[in-house]
Amino acid sequence: MLGILSSAAGAQESLPFPPTPSASTAGLTMKDSVYKKRVDPKHLPSDAPNILIILMDDVGPGQASTYGGEINTPTLDRVAKAGISYNRFHSTAMCSPTRGALLSGRNHTRISNGQIAELANDFDGFSGTIPKSAATVAEVLKDYGYNTGAWGKWHNTPAEQTTSKGPFDYWPTGYGFEYFYGFLAGEASQYEPRLVRNTTVLDPHEYEHPGYHLSEDIATDAIKWLREQQAFTPDKPYLIYWAPGAAHGPHQVSQEWADKYKGKFDDGWDKYRERTFKRAKEMGWIP
């Protein structure tokens, strides 16, 4: 990403970019003045990529069929074949720290997210508030000219600041996301979530309906946003940060999906692990 940004405008040491100076010249009178339209420079190359980040809780590499698991993931197969998969990675194994580190590119304790937001405290590195000195990827990309949006789970705002009265400085829209539709806490009901749009706590009657499921709702909303982005600002690239409530608890899935795997895992975790381990080695994910 740094290469994409620096190739267009050189190394930028501070953001946002300073205002573009006026191209006009003011004289003593209108007759003596010269007007020229101010043209803001582009800070991105014409082929700047669109970026989609999907962050899923509690999904291990041994679950998706793409990497040897037994959960059928044909769409992930297509994504993996079109890109790069990594078999070495570091994780904090906790929600807020992982999210903070991913969004800022910094160690979780360096951005005061050493613990989940609900357990934030006054120790250095654990206050639960990402400092404004640690810009998120959304802030940087927005300043360079990206449209930015976030959906689903946030979990990077101290719990006492998530009421309808804010403060809103540390909500997604305060960290570079121009649009947010999702929930601020660590988990939400998949059937009856309490959602926020930008900084407005919504009435559940606005979005809930028979057959409602949170994952489908945020996918539909993200697609709507994307279509509008393509219609109104097709010249701008976009960043989508899509973080569903699944597969974090509560584990709530519709009957039709659960029925597809009925009996499949009845022999227990140890047998599943043996099968997955063998397949992952055969596929090359495990050396």
Tokens 């573009």: give the residue.
20
Backbone phi, then psi, for 2, in 5-degree steps? -60, -40
Q: Would strands 238-243 and 51-54 be described as parallel, antiparallel, or unpaired?
A: parallel
Give the C-alpha separation, 108 to 97, whole Å. Answer: 5
CB 218 within 8 A of CB 244: yes
Give the C-alpha separation, 32 to 46, whole Å. Answer: 38
Buried b (16+ CB within 10 A) or exposed e, 156-174: bbbbebbeeeeeeebbbbb
3-state secondary structure of 241: strand
Which pair of structure tokens corresponds to residue 143? 């300043």
Can you give the residue ranges of every domain in the chain?
Answer: 48-77+86-250
Q: Which of 43, 90, 108, 155 is catalytic?
A: 155
Known active-site residue 95: yes
Q: Which of 95, 108, 213, 248 is catalytic?
A: 95
pLDDT at 16: 87
Angle between helix 95-104 and 137-144 (nearest 10) = 30
| Per-residue pLDDT of the chain in tens (287 residues, 90 and over written 9) | 445 454 444 557 788 888 889 989 999 999 999 999 988 888 999 899 999 999 999 988 899 999 999 999 999 999 999 989 988 877 788 999 999 999 999 999 999 999 999 998 889 999 999 999 999 999 999 999 999 999 999 999 999 999 999 999 999 999 999 999 999 999 999 999 999 999 999 999 999 999 999 999 999 999 999 999 999 999 999 999 999 999 999 999 888 989 999 999 999 999 999 999 999 999 999 88
Give the C-alpha separation, 113 to 100, whole Å. Answer: 7
What is the amino acid identity at position 52? L
Please tell me the CATH code under which domain 48-77+86-250 is placed: 3.40.720.10
Give the C-alpha separation, 277 to 196, whole Å. Answer: 40
pTM, two decimals, is 0.89
pLDDT at 2: 46
Known active-site residue 209: no
